[in-house]
Chain A
C-alpha cells in the first residue's frame, strides 16, 4: 500500500521533499489501539450484551432464556415505568427552570457589571457541584430527619410548627426537595457555561444597542438571549440526559425503593432495583434501553429544532 502510494507520487512528479518524508501515519492506528480495545471490551460489548439480555428472561443465576420482545411489551404496559419516567422528568423540570433562569441572570450581571471578587463568587457557586450526590443525599437526610433533624429543630425553635414533621414521607415535599438540591448543585455549573457563551458575544452589538438607547433589560432580551440559543440548547440537552439519570439522591434519601408512594422512583432507580435487588436482569436491561430510546428521541427533537432555526 505504502509502496504503491510512494510510486504514485513519483509518477505524478510531486515535490521530491514529500518523497523523502517517511510516512508514519500508520502509527495513528497503533496509538488508537488501547482506547479501541478498552472501548470495545468494556463499553461496546456490555451495551450489546445488555441488549441481548433485554430479550431474555434472566435472573443472574440460571441460563438466560430467549423471550423475544416480551420484556418490551411488559415495559410498554408497566405503570411503574411510566411513573418513574414522570417523576424523573418532573423533578428535572422543577429543578431546571430556576437553574437556567438564575444562571442566565447571574452570568449577565457578571458580564455587564464590574463585580469585586467575581472569581471567588464563581468558585463558591460551583462548589456544591463537586460533592457526590450520594453524600449530599445523606447530608440532607440528616438535615430533614424525623424527629430530630436540623430543619425540625429550627422550625420548632422559631415556633413555626407545633410538633416535628416527617418531611421524608411527603411525596410532593421530597420531589421538590430533590429538585431544589439539583438546583443548588447545578446552577453554578450552568452559570459558568452561560458566562463563557456571553463572553463570546461581540461588544459591538452591545455598543450599537446602547447608542440606540436600549436599556439593560432590552439588551438582555433582544441581543443576549437570541445569541445564547445554541448554548441554551446544549445546556438543556446535557441537563436532560443528566436529569434522566437521577439515581444517587433518590436512592439514598428514600428507603432505596423510591418511597413515599413511589414518588421518588426514578428510571435508573427502577432499573437498579429490578436488576440488582430483584434479580430481573432481563427486564432491567429492557428498562435501560427504554431510557436510551427516550434520550434519543428527545435529542433528535432538540437537534431538529436548532437546525430549523439555522436554516431560516
Chain B
C-alpha cells in the first residue's frame, strides 16, 4: 500500500525520522568526541567537536586499565561460546528435523518451555556447582552452559524442516555415509544461513553478558570487557574522563562495526523469529 504523500508531510516525516536517528546515535557520538579530548577540556566545556588527545588517551588507557587484556578475554569467551552453541544447536536441530524418533514432539516442547525460564533462576545453583567442580574463576561456566540455547535450536530446526529434504539424507545413506558424517557434510552446509543468523545473536549476547562473569570471575586479570568497564564506573569521578570515554568506545565499537557489516542478517533474523509467533 505504498502511496505518495503530499510534500510538506513528507518533509515532516523525514525530519522526524532523522531526528530519531540523531537521538539513537548522540550518546555514542558524545562518547567518541570525548574519547579524543583531554580531561581538562572535558571538565571545562561541553563541545560537539573532536579534540586532539586520542593518542595520549590511548597511551594513558593502556597504562591505567587492562582494556586490551579484557578485550581478548571477551573475544576468547565469546568466540568459544558462540562456536560451541552453534554446533550443539545445529546438532540438536538436525536431530529434530531429520529423525522420527519416539517422544520427538514432547522433547521439542520441553526445549521450547525452557525458553520461558529466566536465566537468574539457577544462578546460585550454578555458582555452587562451579564451586563443587572447582571451575570458579575460570571461563568454563561462562562457555559451556551457554551451549544449551533453546531459541537457537528452535530457529535452526524451523529452517531445517524446509531446507533438509529426506531424499537428500537417503541419498547420502545409499552412498554409505555414516550419520555423523551426513550431519557434517550435508546438514551443516545446508543449515549454514540459519546458523549464521543465530551466531550473530549468540555473539552479541555473549559479548554483552555481565551478570555471569561478575559472579563467576574474581581475578581482575580475567575480567571480560563489560565487567572491567563497570568496575571503572566507581571511578567516574576520577580525574581522567577522556580515558574512561575511550575505554567505553573500545568496548562498544567492535560490535557496532560487526553490526554494520551484517545488519541485513540481524534484521532478517529478528523478523523471521517474530513472524512465526
Contact = CB atoms under 8 A, between A and B. Distances in A.
B112 interface: no
B126 A42 contact: yes
Given A42-B145, A113-B5, A193 B95 contact: no
B7 interface: no
Interface in B71-121: 88-89, 91-92, 94-96, 98-101, 104, 107, 111, 114, 116-121
B125 to A, nearest CB: 3
B252 interface: yes
Interface size class of A (residues with CB under 8 A): 35 or more
Given A24-B179, A126-B263, A197 B275 contact: yes
B210 interface: yes
Interface in B251-277: 251-252, 255-256, 259-260, 263-264, 266-267, 270-272, 274-275, 277
B277 A234 contact: yes
B274 A34 contact: no
Interface stretch (B53-61, B190-198, B230-238): B230-238
B124 A27 contact: no
A268 B267 contact: no
A132 B236 contact: no
Contact of A142 (B20, B173, B204, B236): B236
B134 interface: no
B128 A123 contact: no
A307 interface: no
Interface size class of B (residues with CB under 8 A): 35 or more
Nearest to B264: A119
B199 interface: no
Contacts of B272: 196
A48 B11 CA distance: 58
Contacts of A69: none
A145 to B, nearest CB: 6
Contacts, number: 285
Main secondary structure of the interface of B (DSSP, over half): helix
Contacts of A106: 17, 20
Interface of A: 21-22, 24-32, 34-35, 38-39, 41-50, 53, 106, 109, 111-115, 119, 121-128, 130-143, 145, 148, 150, 153-154, 157, 184, 188-189, 192-193, 195-197, 199-200, 203, 206-207, 210, 230-231, 234, 241, 244-245, 247-248, 251-253, 268, 271-272, 275-276, 281, 284-285, 288-289, 291-292, 295, 299
Contacts of B210: 132-134, 247-248
A32 B96 CA distance: 9
Nearest to A230: B277
Nearest to A151: B46
B28 interface: yes
Contacts of B10: 113
A28 B98 contact: yes
A196 B275 contact: yes
Contacts of B13: 109, 113, 115
A125 B20 contact: yes
A258 to B, nearest CB: 15
28 contacts: A24-B99, A29-B101, A30-B95, A31-B94, A35-B153, A38-B88, A42-B144, A43-B122, A47-B122, A49-B122, A53-B128, A112-B1, A113-B2, A113-B5, A121-B17, A123-B259, A123-B267, A138-B233, A145-B237, A153-B46, A188-B24, A192-B274, A196-B274, A196-B275, A234-B274, A247-B210, A268-B211, A295-B118
